Amino acid sequence: MIFSDPDKQIQYTLRHTCAVADPQFLREMSVMLGPSILPGNAVEALRNGAEIFPAMLAAIRSARVSITFETYIYWSGEIGREFAAALSERARAGVQVHVLIDWVGSAKMDAALIEGMEQAGVKVVRYRPLSWYNIGRMNNRTHRKLLVVDGELGFTGGVGIADPWEGHAQDAEHWRDMHFRLRGPCVAQMQAAFNDNWIKTTGVVLNGEKYFPQLEPAGDRSAHLFVASPAGGSESMHIMYLMVIAAAEESIDLQAAYFVPDRLAVEALVAARKRGVRVRITVPGEHIDSTVVRIASKAKWGELLLAGVEIHEYVPTMFHNKMLIVDKGMVSVGSTNFDLRSFRLNDEANLNVYDAGFAREMTQVFEADLERTRAYTYDAWKNRPLREKFLERVVLPIKSQL
């Protein structure tokens, strides 16, 4: 099967050759595109800000030697002040604290927060601020969400440091999201991912036992941290998603905060349906922070719905989860959205976990979220308002910038 992308005039030949449980699939995922899959990890899912923020803040406050923290969204507000205070307190206590915040994602951050952290000894860098000499790279942002404490404890997922993520998705003002706590050998890969952008931004290499201690097994789950950036092969995350979809034999469960599939992704999902794979996709409903993305997304749904892909819109609030579960054996979670911005323009990081027990847990999460959705039908798509259809034609040419 050949998946072609006319925008780039290249072709990827991705055939279904083995399942995700096949040792051959694990070998290929471990060496072709990403770092090695490592055994011995403990991975814990955290739901919504009510669980996520206390866990992250407790980890920061427990730091003895180092904290590295990279995020896209950091806004002023209650939770922003709380994180700044915790990071500052540790820096004053002598912990080496490094914070990398995206320049665009932190546009709503009060300068006083940064100044306060710097005065406390926190090393704060904003990723790719706009200047005349780098305007061509303005669109390349770090979208990664990484927190590593003492080189031993890591967090990643979809949460930004802003008040909409607080609470437990109890109303339209509080978003639904997931984050993941990690212990074990894979934490070193998370630290290396932070180091990659810290070096690119500052020229400083963070090494030694403060950042890369000896890590013993902490659990029984195999995982690796899969990273991508325009500077280091932006197509790797795109191809990884396509490879995982092409491996599916029974089920694909996808949660996508921003679902704007390109031709490659549509063909891969339709091909999976032709193999008899059940495909379920959960996306935001009317509560979405980008109406333009919602318009661009729906333009591609017709072909998917006709093929039998099940699309569900989350009703109560903004749905920011990013999770892919395949054949109840492999789970990919992290910062990556299912769109060309994430696949080609952003620096992204996903934690891929190859463990049936974790996949079962995340399938339960998926199905619990499904109970709060509304199914979207082909008839609804076909009869959508003419205004929507017109706007889709306007938006689609710029879909990679959304």
CA 67 to chain centre: 21
Distances, alpha carbon 216 to alpha carbons 149, 153, 344, in Å = 15, 12, 35
Separation CA 144–CA 152 (nearest Å): 19
Residue from 327, 347, 355, 369 carrying the catalytic annotation:
327
Residue from 322, 328, 347, 399 carrying the catalytic annotation:
322
Residue from 179, 320, 328, 399 carrying the catalytic annotation:
320
Q: Are the beta carbons of 265 and 342 closer than 8 angstroms?
A: no
Q: Are the beta carbons of 114 and 124 closer than 8 angstroms?
A: yes
Separation CA 109–CA 132 (nearest Å): 23
Establish whether 287 is a catalytic residue.
Answer: no
For tokens 């919602």, the residue is 294
In DSSP notation, 167-194 reads: TTS-STTS-B-EEEEEESTHHHHHHHHH
Residue from 98, 145, 298, 300 carrying the catalytic annotation:
145
Residue from 143, 179, 328, 399 carrying the catalytic annotation:
143
Q: Which structure tokens are listed for 395? A: 């938006």
H or E element in which residue 223 lies? strand 221-228
Q: Are the beta carbons of 146 and 128 closer than 8 angstroms?
A: no
Q: Are the beta carbons of 165 and 79 closer than 8 angstroms?
A: yes
Establish whether 210 is a catalytic residue.
Answer: no
Q: Which structure tokens are listed for 81? A: 């002040």
Establish whether 339 is a catalytic residue.
Answer: no
Establish whether 328 is a catalytic residue.
Answer: no
Q: Regarding beta strands 221-228 and 330-334, do their DSSP bridges make them parallel or antiparallel, or are they unpaired?
A: unpaired
SS3 36: coil
Establish whether 143 is a catalytic residue.
Answer: yes
Establish whether 327 is a catalytic residue.
Answer: yes
Separation CA 356–CA 310 (nearest Å): 23
* Active site residues per annotation: 143, 145, 150, 320, 322, 327
